[in-house]
Amino acid sequence: MSTCQVCSLGADHPGVVLDDRQVCNLCNLDFAEDLLVNYRYTSEVFAEFQQAPPAGGEYDCLFMYSGGKDSTYMLDKFANEYGKRVLAFTFDVPFESVHAAQNIALAREKIPATFVLDSDDDNIKLMMREVFNRPAPKKPGKYLDEKLPCVSCRTFFVLRAILMAYRQGIPYIALCADPQQILTMESNVREIVRDFYKTFGERLTDTLFGGQLEELLFEEEENLPKIVFPFIAMRHEYEPDRIVEELRAKGLYQSSPLETHCTLLPLLNYYSFKNWDCMFYKLNASTHVRSVRRNAEYDRSTFSIKFPRSLELGPVEERLGKVVLAIAAGEGERADHQRELVDLFQRMGATEDAAAFVSQSFLDMRTVADDLGIRLG
């Protein structure tokens, strides 16, 4: 298979096209016009939010709070530096790891915000079963198709937050996507709703949300909340290592960025390998490779997960694919899989403890799939 000469993305990766020099459209910045439009819009909305006087209601914004490093850092900033009246909205995802809960508990003690926990286990599990159990997708696919389960899950609880903000008259919703996610995030509330209908159809969408989303499609624009992406607007200031260091100094963060807060990470990798022959973090890793090759003298990351400069992406991805598919099929010995996974995650920059933590979730993949009704193989 042909791969990009700069970032190593494969020619059959969703949304990727190689030119006659074997350089992909992402490295050629074929999306630059869309990128600039998104940057301009997010910068304008963030500036508007920062300058806005206190809202008429109880809260100035609804803040999407996951317990991860990015949202914890920015929640602290909103409440303690910007002086905003914040409703910190956490969707109790049934696949959240214990580390997220620990970080949220720390934030409740130290950050002056109102915390609310939302949940809808039955419907989010129904949606995830639909995504994972669909027939194999058509190729070549579109940008981010290999991450459809993750994007769908995130969109589900973003829509829950939108409905809450809309009902309570909260004018802004803060979402802490990192700068690399600029092309994966829709800024317009109405378009988010439309995209969800396109993905899941009217019947399932109305089942998942009780028919409430349709109201948003026909509401006046000024009555809909605006979505703020602070890290995208502040992209030149986004430094994951510094963020983690500052949070730990404040006693607000106790885990590693590679210790994802989602226990579905193994299943997300299974989906990516099974349908697209790539690991879930392939776009993140290819961005790392691209930045290293173009900025050999600098060691700075602009995305959430930072990989070692010496990472050999191809061999690591191939080995990870083999072990993920073997675990999904119930093949091989658990101890052998564990040794392989720990080695791979350490090669990707995890500490020994973090590698052991993540590998354990991969070893338990079949149990999680059974609980959700997801068919493997």
Walk along the chain (377 residues) and give the pLDDT tens digit of each residue. Answer: 789 988 889 999 999 999 999 999 888 876 656 666 677 888 899 999 999 999 889 999 999 998 888 899 999 999 999 999 999 999 998 887 677 788 889 999 999 999 999 999 999 999 999 999 999 898 888 888 999 999 999 999 999 999 999 999 999 999 988 766 666 678 899 999 999 999 999 999 999 999 999 999 999 999 999 999 998 888 777 888 889 899 999 999 876 655 556 789 999 999 999 999 999 989 888 877 787 776 655 554 445 566 777 778 889 999 999 999 999 999 999 999 999 999 999 998 888 988 998 899 999 999 999 999 999 97
Final residue of a domain: which of 249, 280, 302?
249
The pTM of this model reads 0.88
Looking at the fold, whether 224 and 279 belong to one and the same domain comes out as: no
Looking at the fold, whether 49 and 158 belong to one and the same domain comes out as: yes
Looking at the fold, whether 117 and 243 belong to one and the same domain comes out as: yes
**CA dihedral of 74, 80, 85, 87, whole degrees rounded to 10:** 40
**Triad 121, 127, 133: Cα angle to 5°:** 125
DSSP states of 39-56 as a string?
HHHHHHHHHHHHHPPPPS
Looking at the fold, whether 218 and 303 belong to one and the same domain comes out as: no
Closest CA to 90 of 69, 119, 57, 121: 119
Looking at the fold, whether 106 and 4 belong to one and the same domain comes out as: no
Looking at the fold, whether 216 and 286 belong to one and the same domain comes out as: no
Looking at the fold, whether 212 and 241 belong to one and the same domain comes out as: yes
